[in-house]
Every structure is written in structure tokens, then in C-alpha cells.
Amino acid sequence: MTSDLLAPLDLAFWNIESERHPMHLGALGVFSARSPTAGAHAADLLAARAAAVPGLRMRIRDVWQPLAFGAATREPVPGFDPLDHVRLHAPAGDFQALAGRLMERPLERGRPPWEAHVLPGADGESFAVLFKFHHALADGLRALTLAAAVLDPMDLPEPRPRPAEPPRGLLPDVRGLPGALRGALSDVGRALDIGASLAVSTLDATLAARSTAALTAEPSGTRRTAGVVVDLDDVHRVRKAVGGTVNDVLIAVVAGALRRWLDERGDGSEGVAPRALIPVSKRRPRTAHPQGNRLSGYLVRLPVGDPDPLRRLETVRAAMDRNKDAGPNRGAGAVALLADHVPALGHRLAGPLVGQAARLWFDILVTSVPLPGLGLKLGGNPVTAVFPYAPLARGQSLAVAVSTYRGAVHYGLVADAAAVPDLHRLAAALTDEVETLITACDP
């Protein structure tokens, strides 16, 4: 496997990272153990299988060549040793407590930026694996692909054959050149449009409904995690009663849980409407170069201050509909697409400033991480829950990631441990809010 340049957004993630703001994704998979030694066996399997996965051998190396000054590449590391990345821990009674401490540690930048931590359960009946992947190495879908490569093989349906592409001539088709020029001009116009929307959004942040200090506290560099499991049938029950999408309901649940949590801790929710960034994947075509992350996003003001649960859901639904009508290429939520218009050296020099500007753009991240519908196993031990974790941007204290797996919704919460020492109360509020919505929907 040869080296390849990082895509612009990957390079941005690589450069905005700091000691207190590591830019890695995480996922905590909880397994039902078939024997007390299942955790140790799982660690051996992960190390053995990782050696055969080319994507896990890739490190990120800075480039200072004239034509790529300030860029970075993914390249295979010589002497790759999976045992540097797979760690077996002592038995733990609380997987989430240990996961929080492990999530706060940055990945080592001199070697392939990923880790797998195996956490045997103190009861001998379960174990967990915490996967960490740097966002510059993999987005949510790519991280899933890499993790799946070291789990037990899945019985996947046969892919449909792709139609053969017509042969290409040796010379480019000149008829495409005017269109390419129009596309380039359109890209410039889109960049200006996104920039203007971002400016308006930043101004709106100072004029519109307030956020809360609990979500924008000064960072301590510590992390706390929590996980919540919700029955997907309950979510569908609400969706069918009021309309919208499953995602609308899940975002509204976050808004209602924040309201409960703020009121219980004495901060107060009146007038609070934090800006939530809802990432939207815009994956590059297989023929694009460089490959890598390409994200847009929707900005939604969470109606935390509204006391009516159904009205909160309707507000979220209307905001998401407006975003979808505008499309992921427009608006302040699409600011990540601007990474494509910044030269490599610009990412290198402006990375720290961009990281600090995140708090001017949004207050909380609410992201969805895809999971396969088929059951996942490791060493024959089935996965019973999967909690995804998103990185915390500078100036933000909480990030929410959501995955649906085998009839259940899994919320993964990551917080700054100093700013949000009571993350367990917010987790409980998520469960309570689902019950509140169900009750409100009943005739």
C-alpha cells in the first residue's frame, strides 16, 4: 500500500488537535462473554487480525515538499506491531468510567492513530472493547469498516454487480471543459455563500436565544462518558403519532433531556436554545483524489426553553425540514466544506485558530453513526450494545452520538468531566424524555 495525501478536511482535523482536544472518534462495544477468559481471547484475536488489515498500518506523516508544502500523507508504517495498539486491561466493574478516562488520552501521532482497549467485566459474564480512531484516519463509516475487519466475519448479502464503465480515450473530452469551468466558478460562489452564512450565524449567536455555560465551559482536558439504550419501537411510536423522521425524534429527545438536566442542576432552561451541529456525510466518489472525509452539516437551535414536548419536536422537525430544503451545500452548517478551498499550508497555520472558533459556530454536536443491521461478534461473543463517542471541539463541553443497532437506539455521551460532573443525570434524562414523548402522544 502506497502513501496518499490527506483530504483537506482530514488535514484540518489533524491540525486543530491539541492535548486537551484530541480529535479521535470512539465506540464502546459491550459483548456477552461465553467464558471468563473471553476478554483475554478477544485481545489476542484483535491483535492477530489487525496485522492483516492494511488500513490499520497507516500512519500520518507531514509533507514539506514544494508542491505539497504543509500537507500530510497516510503511509504504511515500517515494522507495524499490533501489540502497540491493542491493550488488555484489568477487570472493570464500570465500562463507562474507564472509557471516559481512555477517551481523554490523545493518540500517539508518530504511529498509526488508532487503539483498541479490551475491558474484561468484573462479573466474568461480559467484556467491552473501546475502539479509538483519529478523525484524520477515518470518519464514522470508515471507522466502522476498520473495526468490522477485526471482528468476526459477517454473513453479508452478495453485492450487486456494477455496470462496466465505457472505455476512455487517451485524450480528455473537450466537451467537458466548459462544464468543469462552470463547476469551478460554482465552487467559488458556494464558498462565498457558506462564508456569508457563517458570518450571519455568528452574529445570530450574539443576538438570539442564549445557550448555557454548562455547554461552553473552559476546557479541562478531562473526559467522562455515558451510554443510554432506548427501544427503537418507542421512537417509531412517537414518529408515527406526530410525523417527521426517526432522526427528528432523537434530536428532540436531546433537547428535552437538556431541559430536564439544566432545571435539575439549578442552571435553569428558560430561554435556552443552544445551536446543535448535525453532521451530514458527503462522501467523495471512488475516483476522487485525495480520498477521505468530506462533511457538511445542518445547524438547528434546540428548543430547550420550550416546556411543551410535542412543540419541541415540531420545532426540531421544522428546522430540519428547512435545512433539507436548502441542502447540505448551503448555510452555516456547511462550513466544513470550506476545507476544500483552503491550501495545505493554510490548514497548517490556521488550525489552532479554527479550533478556537468552533464555539462561535455551534454549542453542541449531535451526530449519527451508522451500524450494520447484522449482529456483530468477536470470538463468537455477541455484541449487546454499541455506544459511539464523538470528539469535543474547543470551547464545548458535551457531544452526543447516536447509533441504531438491532432494534435499539444507543446514545453515546462525551463530556468534559470538570464542566459536566453529573453526566449520569443527563443520561437518565434522555430515558425520561422518551417516556414523556410517549405519554404526550397517547390519546
CA distance 378 to 38: 9
Which amino acid belongs to residue 329?
A: N
Higher local confidence (pLDDT), 260 or 375: 260
CB 57 within 8 A of CB 76: yes
The whole-chain average pLDDT of the chain stands at 80
- Is the per-residue pLDDT at 183 higher than 90? no
The pLDDT of residue 163 is above 90: no
Q: Which three cell numbers stand for residue 281?
A: 456525510
Weakest mean pLDDT among 57-66, 68-77, 99-108, 165-174: 165-174
> Which residue, among 347, 299, 389, 317, has the nearest Cα to 23 in the 3D structure?
389
Q: Is the pLDDT of residue 193 over 90?
A: no
389-424 per-position pLDDT tens digit: 999 988 889 999 999 999 999 999 999 999 999 999
Q: Closest Cα partner for 274 from 395, 356, 193, 139?
A: 395
Please report the pLDDT score of residue 346 as a whole number: 43
The whole-angstrom separation of Cα 345 and Cα 275 is 30
pTM summary value: 0.82
Q: Helices (H), strands (E): how many in the chain?
A: 10, 15
Is the bond leading into 178 cis (omega within 30 degrees of zero)?
Answer: no
SS3 364: strand
Grid cell 424524555 in the structure block, residue: 433
Euclidean distance between CA atoms 110 and 61, whole angstroms: 8
In this predicted model, what pLDDT tens digit does every residue of 288-344 receive, in sequence order? Answer: 444 455 456 788 999 999 999 999 999 999 999 998 887 755 554 444 433 343 444
Grade residue 138 by pLDDT with cuts at 50, 70 and 90. confident
**Predicted pLDDT of residue 357:** 55
Q: What is the pLDDT of residue 331?
A: 52
Share of the chain above pLDDT 70, in %: 73
Tell me if residue 64 falls in helix, strand or coil. coil
> By CB neighbour count within 10 A (0-12 exposed, 13-18 middle, 19+ buried), where does 439 fall?
exposed
pLDDT computed for residue 293 by the predictor: 52
| pLDDT computed for residue 5 by the predictor | 82
- What is the pLDDT at residue 63? 80
Candidates 42, 27, 28, 40; CA nearest to 381 is 42
Which amino acid, residue 92? A
Question: Is a pLDDT exceeding 60 seen at residue 136?
Answer: yes
CB atoms within 10 A of CB 24: 25
What pLDDT score does 42 carry? 97
Q: What local confidence, expressed as pLDDT, does residue 173 receive?
A: 39
DSSP 113-151: SEEEEEEEBTTSSEEEEEEEEETTT--HHHHHHHHHHHS
Q: Lowest-pLDDT range, 55-64, 214-223, 285-294? A: 285-294
Query: Which residue shows C-alpha cell 467523495?
Result: 284
Q: Is 9 helix (H, G, I), strand (E, B) or coil?
A: helix
Residues 221-260 pLDDT 10s: 999 999 999 999 999 999 999 999 999 999 999 999 999 9
pLDDT at 125 over 50: yes
